[in-house]
Amino acid sequence: MSAPLYNRDILALAVATADFPLLTDARRASLRAPLCGSRIIVDVDADEDGLVRGVGLHVEACALGQASAALLARHAAGRSADDLHAARDAIASWFAGEGERPDWPGFDLLAPARDYPARHGAILLPFDAAVAALESAEVRA
């Protein structure tokens, strides 16, 4: 392990989830990571082509899960469910030692978590929830 798991950048990202309040007239998914108990609600506002316009969050997770959620929300605009699913799969493959670091802006800050499998679910959870929200046919008013 070359970097501390919780550092100033991770903690700064963790509090940045407050910049993304829950939305109205958006697709919503609420998920829980079974291993660590992290919970997240993700609202996704998408255009008629299914591309993300905005993301709202409510996160009950460790600082790593919160940081992952903030990175998702910051960089999801203009992306499709397929894009988010591909990013999620790339993260999971990298965690499993089967691929390169994911090409998601800011994700290098989460690199120290690779050595902590118990934290992987919390980091993947925002991506899982965003995909689930985009694949939902129901828009919450």
* Position 3 in a domain: no
CB 80, CB 53: distance < 8 Å: no
pLDDT reading at 1 higher than 60: no
**Domain interval for residue 66:** 8-135
Q: What is the pTM of this model?
A: 0.92
Number of domains in the chain: 1
Average pLDDT of the chain? 91
What distance in Å separates the CA atoms of residue 8 and residue 16, rounded to the nearest whole number? 12
User: Mind listing the pLDDT tens digit for each residue in 64-112?
Assistant: 999 999 999 999 999 999 999 999 999 999 999 998 889 899 988 998 8
CB 74, CB 135: distance < 8 Å: no
User: Mind listing the pLDDT tens digit for each residue in 9-63?
Assistant: 999 999 999 999 999 999 999 999 887 889 999 999 999 999 999 999 999 999 9
* Position 117 in a domain: yes
Supply the CATH number for residue 122's domain: 3.90.1010.10
* Position 2 in a domain: no
* Position 141 in a domain: no
Burial of 19 (0-12, 13-18, 19+ CB in 10 A): exposed
DSSP letter, residue 96: T
* Position 1 in a domain: no
* Two tokens, residue 35: 């291993």
* Position 76 in a domain: yes
pLDDT of residue 80: 94
